[in-house]
Homo-oligomer: A and B are copies of this chain.
Amino acid sequence: MIEVRDYIHAIGRRARDASRAMALAPTARKNRALTCIAETLEAQGGAILKANAIDLAEGTGLNPALRDRLALDEVRVRAMAEGLRQIAALRDPIGEVTGLCYQPSGIQVGRMRVPLGVIGIIYESRPDVTAEVAGLGLKSGNAVILRGGSEAIRSNRAIAACVHAGLGAAELPLDAVQLIGTTERAAVGELVSLSEYVDVIVPRGGKGLIERVSREARVPVIKHLDGVCHVYVDDRADLDKAVTIAYNARTHRYAVCNAMECLLVAEGIAAQFLGRVGPLYREEGVELRGCAATCGLLPYAVPATAEDWGMEYLAPILAVRVVTGIDEAMDHIRHYGSQHTDAIVTEDLGRAQRFLREVDSSSVMINASTRFADGFQYGLGAEVGISTDKLHARGPVGIEGLTSQKFIVLGDGQIRT
């Protein structure tokens, strides 16, 4: 244990040192590193896939979903490189000065955007996160410490080697991106307690991982625990839009946090709407767990139990409830939602405005699929994660979420009197 502690402390110290250089790194050099990492990833694609094949061969105990997330191929390697080029194309957020205004005293006061410092990322399976998060950290002028899953250690090492090649080529400190080499579980506990060197932890993965990190962390954590997303179909909805959105939000992908888990339907439109969307779900093999009214309308729906409200299925299952209208729908969301993403389908302006203002979730949508809650779709370039916390960053966290703002004051000799 002492060894792990010393090892993680040394990584933290080196990250802190590197973060100072990264905070001052010129935009062009950061972009050069990103482009160079992209090129190296493509050039080293063979080596990466070879390392990945060993990870896969050793991961015989992994379930199919994890194996799928672990597996790389040429398309995924190219996508990693492409993602880094997109990050290089983003505007550099660091040093941006906003709101610089004169005050009555004669001083000018504004804010300058600065990096957070050192960011620790704890993730599972997906080795492409290694490249993506390294890229986001680098562009935002931070140092990052990566702790991937033990099942992906060889893939992650191969990708980290490409990252280091790019940092080296751009004359940036290699310690700006460090991969924790040990697969010991204790390393996570040490990392999330390293308040001296780590400014924020972003856990990406299953609920178990995120709960553990939240519980043990002595460093601020950017996270979401659950993605219990709702779509409310109002009785003034356009039926075509409602059917398309409700179908897409559930069936486009099942095991993602921005998928709809519960469908709320206004009673005035329930028969018509459920009569159209029900068969589509049935055809797709989605199990419907409905309230009494739903079961009355759809013979193939099974009765929902109390546990179904607020459940994150991450599977071809959907809770369905008929409500009297927007107020009952918003009550349901407040009570059972996870403040991740909730949508209304309506053509009524007043109700749309109420829903937007009153629903207290990190993303609130009108007439769009909850599946859009995503850094790329929001134009953030990419995301390190999605936050349902209220402080700092909320919703998809892109490079801006990895920065802070300090006040700057420009004077000409002013003093307080």
Contacts and interface: CB of A to CB of B under 8 A. Distances in A.
A404 interface: yes
A103 interface: yes
Q: Specify how many copies of this chain sit in the oligomer.
A: 2
A117 B247 CA distance: 33
A190 interface: no
Interface in A305-359: 343, 356-358
A366 B97 CA distance: 15
Q: Is the interface of A mostly helix, strand, loop or mixed?
A: mixed
B220 A372 contact: no
Given A396-B407, A407-B362, A408-B356, A245 B390 contact: no
Interface stretch (A50-58, A106-114, A147-155, A173-181): A106-114
Interface string A403-414: 011111111111
A241 interface: yes
Given A362-B407, A379-B109, A248 B391 contact: no
B395 A407 contact: yes
Contact of A377 (B379, B412, B416): B416
Contacts of A392: 391-392
Interface range, A side: 35 or more
A86 to B, nearest CB: 12
A411 to B, nearest CB: 3
Contact of A360 (B114, B366, B391, B395): B114
Given A116-B390, A378-B407, 15 more contacts: A24-B358, A199-B390, A238-B413, A244-B413, A244-B415, A356-B408, A363-B406, A364-B407, A365-B409, A365-B411, A367-B411, A368-B413, A372-B411, A394-B404, A394-B407
14 contacts: A24-B358, A105-B372, A220-B391, A241-B412, A245-B415, A248-B415, A249-B415, A366-B408, A366-B410, A367-B414, A369-B411, A371-B415, A373-B407, A392-B392
